[in-house]
């Protein structure tokens, strides 16, 4: 890693951003349930957070690529996210919360893709070192999900909006510490974006990312509710979430060694296979704590290995001034469209067909993603030996 890269300032942003994710994703559904919302309403409200990623990163990515002001966008988006989230204190009706979630997440989802592009601009020719910075996001998630699980047991879940607002403010403050010139203007790339998007490998990768995140819908939306209904207390649920992300940290710590040795394509295939196994185990054996622990350890593959491999390929395919657009497309099509579809189908199926059917569909989606990678996704010619 370049000695000029502001390691701790970059890491601090990831720490607080994913700490907010660790408080929002596992527990927001439980908070909404405590407010009287049913599974379908919870699925829709969670889907809104994901759906804004379809639009938001692409709008802000286009602006960033044409202005070079990536950190200004990150800082503005983080500030407006914190301000608009305060709307949850004003009312608690479905349509009002839907509006607040749409506004808040539009700005919140603007920040991360541009910060990812900024991080890669620091790493220059050592992009395989990305995981050593990104792992601090996993650390933030672990600390958040574990502490919130213990602190907000029972009726204390009503305090969740206060915790989230504090974390959103911390994201904004940490973004100020990263200098604007770190992002700068990306060099002009002469290959038109439409040619990049016309490559079968690029299309296959984006389709795979969509399928992978759609398969995570039941997990991100209903895992905590599912475990609670199976008799797990909130503190134990928090430990299971934290264990998953601890495994993710372990994956990030070794990815800089695995990536050059095995290549992003092979690691992506492995991640998708293990993700399919994970959803099958959660569907069939929720009452077995030991199996749930093992399934959570597979998060090392279903997020850690997957994300590092996918973002490595995105960085290879989208070069020059297309980097911001590439990161935005990755975020919008996977975490955005895929996440929204996942939240919606899980919201409708949880009560109608049950968790078994819901997680079976998730397993089918991740398996389909593996087949797409195997058939279509190959790295650029100059990286073929490592792919």
Q: What would the pLDDT profile of 95-149 be if each residue is shown by its tens digit?
A: 999 999 999 999 998 888 888 878 877 776 666 677 778 889 888 988 998 898 8
> Which tokens is 240 given?
């299971």
pLDDT tens by residue, 265-300: 999 999 999 999 999 999 999 999 999 999 999 999
pLDDT 10s digits, 148-166: 888 887 778 899 999 999 9
Confidence of residue 67 (pLDDT cuts 50, 70, 90): confident
Distance (Å, whole) CA 370 – CA 310:
12
Q: Which of 181-195, 226-240, 285-299 has the lowest mean pLDDT?
A: 181-195
Contacts of 309 (CB under 8 A, 6+ apart): 259, 264, 265, 267, 268, 271
Give the whole-angstrom CA distance, residue 180 versus residue 280.
45
- In this predicted structure, the answer to whether residue 183 has a pLDDT above a threshold of 80 is no
DSSP assignment of 144-198, as one string? Answer: HHHHHHHHT-GGGGGGHHHHHHHHHHHHHHHHHTS-GGGT-PPPPP-S-HHHHHT
**Share above pLDDT 90 across residues of the chain, in percent, rounded to a whole number:** 49
Q: What is the pTM of this model?
A: 0.77
Give yes or no for residue 382 having a pLDDT over 60.
no
Q: What is the C-alpha separation between 61 and 336, in angstroms, rounded?
A: 14
For residue 320, the model assigns a pLDDT of 64
CA distances from 190 to 224, 297, 318, 325, 346 (A): 47, 43, 12, 15, 42
Question: DSSP assignment, residue 231?
Answer: T
- Residue 180: what pLDDT? 64
Give 218 or 315, the one with higher predicted confidence: 218
Query: Which pLDDT score, from 0 to 100, does residue 124 have?
Result: 64
Interatomic CA distance for residues 117 and 100, integer angstroms: 28
Mean pLDDT of the chain: 86
Does position 220 have pLDDT exceeding 70, yes or no? yes
| Maximum Cα interatomic distance, the chain, rounded to a whole number of Å | 58
Q: Check residue 35 and give its pLDDT.
A: 92
Higher pLDDT, 181 or 368: 368
| Sign of the alpha-carbon dihedral angle for 297, 298, 299, 305 | positive
- What per-residue confidence (pLDDT) applies to 228? 92
- pLDDT at res. 386: 44
Count Cβ neighbours within 10 Å for each residue of 98-114 and write b for 16 or more, e otherwise.
eebbebbbbbbbbbbbb
Q: Give the residue extent of every domain in the chain.
A: 7-386
Q: Which of 36-40, 45-49, 143-147, 357-361 shows the highest mean pLDDT?
A: 357-361
How far is Cα of residue 283 from the mean position of the Cα atoms in its chain? 22
CA 334, CA 160: separation in Å to the nearest integer? 27
CATH of domain 7-386: 1.20.1250.20
CB 302 within 8 A of CB 271: yes
Q: 3-class secondary structure for 19-82?
A: HHHHHHHHHHHHHHHHCCCCHHHHHHHHHHHHHHHHHHHHHHHHHHHHHCCHHHHHHHHHHHHH
Q: How confident is the model at residue 1 (pLDDT cuts 50, 70, 90)?
A: very low
pLDDT band at 381 (very low <50, low <70, confident <90, very high): low
366 has pLDDT over 90: yes
Helix, strand and coil in the chain, % to nearest 5:
85, 0, 15
**Other beta carbons within 10 Å of 305:** 28
């Amino acid at each position: 890693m370049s000695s000029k890269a502001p390691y701790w300032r970059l890491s601090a942003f990831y720490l607080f951003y994913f700490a907010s994710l660790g408080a929002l994703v596992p527990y927001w559904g439980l908070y909404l349930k405590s407010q009287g919302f049913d599974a379908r309403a919870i699925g829709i409200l969670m889907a809104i957070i994901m759906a804004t990623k379809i639009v938001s990163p692409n709008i802000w990515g286009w602006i960033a690529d044409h202005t070079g002001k990536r950190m200004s966008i990150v800082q503005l988006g983080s500030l407006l996210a914190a301000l608009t989230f305060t709307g949850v204190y004003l009312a608690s009706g479905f349509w009002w919360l839907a509006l607040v979630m749409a506004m808040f997440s539009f700005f919140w989802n603007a920040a991360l893709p541009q910060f990812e592009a900024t991080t890669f601009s620091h790493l220059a020719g050592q992009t395989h070192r990305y995981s050593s910075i990104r792992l601090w996001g996993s650390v933030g998630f672990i600390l958040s999900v574990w502490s919130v699980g213990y602190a907000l047991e029972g009726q204390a879940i009503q305090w969740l909006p206060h915790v989230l607002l504090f974390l959103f403010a911390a994201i904004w403050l940490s973004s100020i510490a990263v200098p604007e010139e770190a992002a700068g203007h990306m060099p002009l790339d002469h290959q038109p974006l439409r040619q990049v998007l016309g490559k079968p490998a690029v299309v296959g990768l984006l389709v795979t990312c969509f399928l992978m995140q759609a398969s995570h819908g039941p997990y991100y939306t209903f895992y905590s509710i599912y475990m609670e209904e199976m008799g797990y207390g909130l503190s134990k649920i928090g430990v299971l979430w934290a264990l998953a992300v601890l495994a993710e940290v372990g994956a990030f710590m070794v990815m800089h060694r695995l990536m050059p040795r095995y290549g992003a394509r092979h690691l992506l295939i492995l991640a998708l296979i293990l993700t399919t196994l994970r959803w099958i185990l959660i569907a069939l054996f929720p009452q077995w704590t030991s199996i749930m622990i093992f399934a959570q350890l597979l998060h090392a593959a279903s997020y850690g290995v997957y994300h590092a491999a996918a973002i490595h390929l995105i960085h290879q395919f989208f070069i020059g001034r297309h980097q911001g657009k590439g990161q935005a497309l990755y975020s919008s099509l996977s975490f955005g469209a895929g996440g929204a579809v996942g939240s919606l189908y899980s919201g409708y199926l949880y009560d109608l067909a049950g968790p078994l059917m819901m997680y079976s569909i998730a397993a089918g989606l991740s398996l389909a993603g593996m087949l797409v990678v195997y058939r279509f996704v190959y790295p650029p010619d100059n990286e073929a030996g490592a792919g």
